[in-house]
Structure 1
Amino acid sequence: MTTIRFFAAARAAVGTDSSTTEAGTIDEALREIAAADPPRWGALQERCSYLVDGVTTRDRSTVLEGVAVVDVMPPFAGG
């Protein structure tokens, strides 16, 4: 089981701080999310970075087997 945590604009679009998944890849996990604002969430995913157990990636085909946490990090000012 992998925990997906959402930050800033991603949290606002999804409507929750986190969810859990047994999906095989980041992309599969993101498609499972029942977002509070689906159009915003769909557009935002293309611009996010993902921290997979602390390692940054933008590759949504990253396999989640053995991964504890994925942080969804949207672009934000000042960073």
Structure 2
Amino acid sequence: MTNVRVRYFAGARGAVGLSEETVTMPEGATVRDLVTELGTRHGEKLTRVLTACSFLLDGVAVRDQSIAVPNDSGVDILPPFAGG
């Protein structure tokens, strides 16, 4: 099994009601698998937010969601930010 520390920011945090949680995934799970699990776990509100999010895996931007998530890694979920 793979343990992943998931940190939520901005709208994702609001949709989940948490700033952080640990998710246990099967070994070999991908970022896409994790995103699917989070949507299932937290429902439609988060699922909608996730479609616009970018993801960091251990601080590195994820360009390909088919990349495997290593055990004890961290994934940051970053919705688009408004600003100027």
Letter in structure 2 aligned against 1:8: A
Structure with the bigger percentage of helix: 2
Moved more, 48-57 or 23-32: 23-32
Give the equivalent residue in structure 1 for 2:22.
Answer: 20
Q: Secondary structure at the match of 1:16?
A: coil
- Structure 1 stretches (4+) deviating beyond 4 angstroms? none
Give the equivalent residue in structure 2 for 1:62.
Answer: 67
Q: How many residues get paired?
A: 77
Q: Secondary structure at the match of 2:69?
A: coil
Question: How big is the shift at 1:31?
Answer: 2.7
**CA RMSD, 1 decimal:** 1.9
Give the equivalent residue in structure 2 for 1:9.
Answer: 11
Normalising by structure 1, what TM-score?
Answer: 0.80
Q: Report percent identity of matched pairs.
A: 36
- How many Å separate the matches in 2 of 1:60 and 1:67? 18
Q: Secondary structure at the match of 1:41?
A: helix
Deviation track 1:13-61 (CA, whole Å, cap 9, x = no partner) reads 11111111232122222333322xx222111111100011110124332
Task: Structure 2 unaligned segments of length 5 or more: list them.
Answer: none
Give the equivalent residue in structure 2 for 1:49.
Answer: 54
